[in-house]
Amino acid sequence: MRLLGFVSVAFMLALLGCTQPNARVTARFNDDAALTGKLPYSPFSWQLISSTLNRNGHSVSAFVGNEQAVKYARTNAAADFPAGSVICVITWLQQEDPRWFGGNIPQKLQSVEFLEVQSGPDNARSYLYSSYAGSPLVKSTPSRKAHRQAGRRKFLCSEQQLCPEPANK
């Protein structure tokens, strides 16, 4: 009888302890990391090609691509993407994850960059680079950032091996 009473009290306490939601753990959407503004494509609907972590710059980047770019990246080691491929690099600053000790999560969106592979004359490939920054995202003006964009395109193409260097310089 005493055992039955003890089990009943323990069961009641367990039920009462589970009725209240834990105030320390609430669902939260990371609004700072969201893409806001008008973009020519919807990169969050694309698949991941690769990601990078810049420990010195405290940033993380995701390389995503449209269906054609992802299919090519998964079946070819060369970086000679076919015309029609679009690659996007989304870069965030990082912050410590308040819910996971030692973990980091995206904080503030830094930039969204697109590299479009186009077909030029004689089926030669050409590349169109565009960059978006700010909150909400707005297209960076080429006149102010032309030298930075040229350097960034070179970085995306040569360092990350996403596209070959043009044959004629």
Q: What is the pLDDT of residue 118?
A: 92
Mode of pairing for the β-strands spanning 59-65 and 104-119:
unpaired
Average pLDDT, stretch 33-48? 92
Spans of all domains in the chain: 30-159
pLDDT at residue 67 in the model: 95
Per-residue CA distances from 36 to 79, 108, 119, 139 (Å): 30, 11, 30, 12
The tens digit of pLDDT for each residue in 69-84 reads 999 999 988 878 999 9
Q: What is the pLDDT of residue 113?
A: 95
- C-alpha distances in angstroms, 141 versus 131, 148, 155? 8, 11, 19
Among 77, 45, 43, 83, CA closest to 63: 43
Whole-number average pLDDT of the chain: 80
DSSP secondary-structure letter at 137?
Answer: B
Q: Residue 48 pairs with which residues in a beta bridge? A: 64
Q: Whole-angstrom Cα distance, residue 21 to residue 23?
A: 6
> Regarding predicted confidence, which is higher, 102 or 149?
102
Q: Who's near 148: CB < 8 A, 6+ residues apart?
A: none
Which pLDDT tens digit goes with each residue over 132-154?
A: 998 899 998 764 445 455 555 55
So what's the pLDDT on residue 164? 47
How many other C-beta atoms are found inside a 10 Å radius of the C-beta of residue 159? Answer: 8
Task: Round to whole Å and give the CA distance between 138 and 136.
Answer: 6
Class of the CATH domain delimited by 30-159 = alpha beta
Q: Which helix (H) or strand (E) holds 143?
A: helix 142-154
129 CB-contact burial (10 Å; exposed 0-12 / middle 13-18 / buried 19+): middle
